A and B are shown apart, each in its own frame.
Chain A
């Protein structure tokens, strides 16, 4: 492309403007991090908008150890990890069938999953709440003996919902894998199960990785379902637990800032380390040609 002086100038101006906006974009995050490093007493005295005299990690220590925030991180892992693995597994099964075999139900089935994923959660949770209250579970899972207020229940609803999106994305991805691979497997007499588990599943790895990163972030970030389905505060994963911490850290905003920072740091790490997977996961499902 021809770059005249005029366009070069326009480009520099654009760069400057976008860099300034980009910096402004980061202000809320950086500001919260800054507050998290300051003792509350000092902020009370000089206001939040003041040059810090003391910078330390005391708030982090207090939040993590005294307020036992580490528990909520464990809760988040206990929910997200099985939910993501189960979702990917189940979704890949459906995606395999609808993209490798020509059944009449393929498209209606995909539509069912895709539409299900787009339903408002509020539409689902009223009866689900009652259903969860009436499904018995063994007492070692929940001392009240019902599915409501268990992490298992939370995992199940995440799986049921996210499966819609994952099935859609994986079936799109699978359609780009050449049919010849399947044909030759069938000629060799591979059974359906071998075809799925030995031939297609390994080929899905890049898509599974991208989706896995994205869905882990989504489930980790979930607020609605955790609040709606877990009554007991210390069963909640970190994102929803911030709601309790807000009350618990009543007025010690610098402590809450440390809590919030700790809650988002894992997602930032995932984003920076696995950015390509994250972006691919998002666009895999949404841009079709």
Chain B
């Protein structure tokens, strides 16, 4: 199902024979305009314009209650205030960075490793393949609830550790020094399967003759994987890096369902939400935080676009 190299040639090959605009009838032109125009307008109106407005709002003061007339120019004050006054901000920044670092170091390589083993088609691979995929189908909200039964005070882990009393048992979600690690573990439970899936699909597309050539040369499986398969999967590697970075920046649902992202589980995405819907409505702060998220996402987005479209330029 995955596309191969043919599309790359298909995109460019017909360029010299392209139909000029003047060849279209008036009706065709209207139809073409509608086919492109309607979806584009919807997309721009609901995604890009609000995104740009957020960036603009980040330079204003607005309590969100009054009308648009209540918006006042603020310069960079929202940003300076966030950096100097907002106690939750450094925690959120640290947690997002931790999330990214952890994802890059643990679940992502583990997912690749699993893909390597599963690609060997050993006995019983159907079973564990399914097991690793499953978490990916669950919503993050359900994931949070499901893991709550494992880590709650009287949950499975504490039961196995033999202490489920409220006074003395470990509070996995309540202890601000521990809970972020627990959450990262839970998020990894889901991320590993995703990476594995993307990687397996990529590996299936690797030319089998590469494998065979390496096999004849007497190279071990692992050596072949490292020296032949892995480098040839550069596009997939880039996509996995991009997915990892973007997911780390967007993280929201899991901590929100666990404790609304407080007490050690602060994340930038949650702070944006809290500034809009929380007790004190500070649109400017929320917008500034969202803009920071945006600036951080630009790099992976650019990398992704470059990787994807460079062949077609």
Residue of B nearest to A278 (CB): B137
Given A19-B128, A123-B51, A130-B64, check contact A28 B11 (CB 8 Å).
Answer: no
Q: Pick the contact of A94 from B19, B36, B252, B309 — CB < 8 Å?
A: B36
Q: Which of B75-83, B139-147, B176-184 contacts A (4 or more CB under 8 A)?
A: B139-147
In the complex, whether B263 has a CB less than 8 A from a CB of chain A is no
Q: In the assembled complex, which residues on chain B have CB atoms less than 8 Å from the CB atom of A191?
A: 25, 27-28, 31
Kindly state the separation between the CA atoms of A165 and B98 in the bound complex, as whole angstroms.
28
| B214 nearest CB across to chain A (Å) | 11
Given A15-B124, A264-B142, check contact A93 B252 (CB 8 Å).
Answer: no
| B26 nearest CB across to chain A (Å) | 11
Q: In the assembled complex, which residues on chain B have CB atoms less than 8 Å from the CB atom of A217?
A: 137
Q: Within A76-123, which residues are at the interface with B (CB < 8 Å)?
A: 90-91, 93-94, 96-99, 101-102, 107, 109-116, 118-123
Q: In the assembled complex, which residues on chain B have CB atoms less than 8 Å from the CB atom of A179?
A: 10, 13-14
Q: In the assembled complex, which residues on chain B have CB atoms less than 8 Å from the CB atom of A126?
A: 50, 53-54, 57, 272, 276, 283, 286-287, 290
| A104 nearest CB across to chain B (Å) | 10
* Interface class of chain A by DSSP: helix
Residue of B nearest to A153 (CB): B46
Given A28-B150, A32-B149, check contact A121 B250 (CB 8 Å).
Answer: yes
Residue of A nearest to B32 (CB): A192
Q: Which of A26, A110, A122, A289 has the most CB of B within 10 A?
A: A122
Residue of A nearest to B254 (CB): A223
Q: In the assembled complex, which residues on chain A have CB atoms less than 8 Å from the CB atom of B159?
A: 47-49
Q: Pick the contact of A25 from B36, B117, B134, B198 — CB < 8 Å?
A: B134
Q: In the assembled complex, which residues on chain B have CB atoms less than 8 Å from the CB atom of A282?
A: 197-198, 201
The answer to whether B39 and A19 touch across the interface, beta carbons within 8 angstroms, is: no
Kindly state the separation between the CA atoms of A107 and B312 in the bound complex, as whole angstroms.
8
Residue of A nearest to B220 (CB): A7
Number of interface residues of B (CB under 8 A): 118
Q: In the assembled complex, which residues on chain B have CB atoms less than 8 Å from the CB atom of A51?
A: none
Q: Within B236-252, which residues are at the interface with A (CB < 8 Å)?
A: 236, 239, 242-243, 246, 249-250, 252
The answer to whether B27 and A112 touch across the interface, beta carbons within 8 angstroms, is: no
Kindly state the separation between the CA atoms of A96 and B38 in the bound complex, as whole angstroms.
14
Q: Pick the contact of A160 from B47, B154, B235, B277 — CB < 8 Å?
A: B47
| A160 nearest CB across to chain B (Å) | 4
Q: Pick the contact of A11 from B8, B25, B45, B122 — CB < 8 Å?
A: B122
Q: In the assembled complex, which residues on chain A have CB atoms less than 8 Å from the CB atom of B156?
A: 27, 31, 48-49
| A157 nearest CB across to chain B (Å) | 6
Q: Within A11-37, which residues are at the interface with B (CB < 8 Å)?
A: 11, 14-15, 18-19, 21-23, 25-29, 31-32, 35
| A255 nearest CB across to chain B (Å) | 12
Given A192-B28, A267-B137, check contact A25 B35 (CB 8 Å).
Answer: no
Q: In the assembled complex, which residues on chain A have CB atoms less than 8 Å from the CB atom of B4?
A: 176, 289
| B234 nearest CB across to chain A (Å) | 11
Using a CB–CB cutoff of 8 Å, the interface residues on chain B facing chain A are 1-8, 10-11, 13-15, 18-19, 24-25, 27-28, 31-32, 34-36, 38-40, 42-51, 53-54, 57, 64, 114, 117-118, 120, 122-125, 127-135, 137-142, 145-147, 149-150, 152, 154-156, 159-160, 164, 189, 197-198, 201-202, 205, 215, 235-236, 239, 242-243, 246, 249-250, 252-253, 256-257, 268-269, 272-273, 276-277, 283, 286-287, 289-291, 293-294, 297, 300-301, 304-305, 308-309, 312-313
Using a CB–CB cutoff of 8 Å, the interface residues on chain A facing chain B are 1-2, 11, 14-15, 18-19, 21-23, 25-29, 31-32, 35, 47-49, 90-91, 93-94, 96-99, 101-102, 107, 109-116, 118-131, 156-157, 159-161, 163-164, 167-168, 172-173, 175-176, 178-179, 186, 191-193, 196, 206, 210, 217, 220-224, 227-228, 239-240, 242-243, 246, 253, 256-257, 260, 263-264, 267-268, 270-271, 275, 278-280, 282-284, 286-289
The 23 listed contacts between A and B (C-beta, < 8 Å) are A18-B114, A19-B127, A26-B131, A27-B156, A28-B146, A90-B38, A94-B39, A97-B32, A119-B294, A120-B293, A121-B252, A122-B273, A126-B283, A192-B35, A221-B141, A223-B140, A224-B253, A242-B257, A256-B145, A264-B138, A267-B137, A283-B197, A289-B205
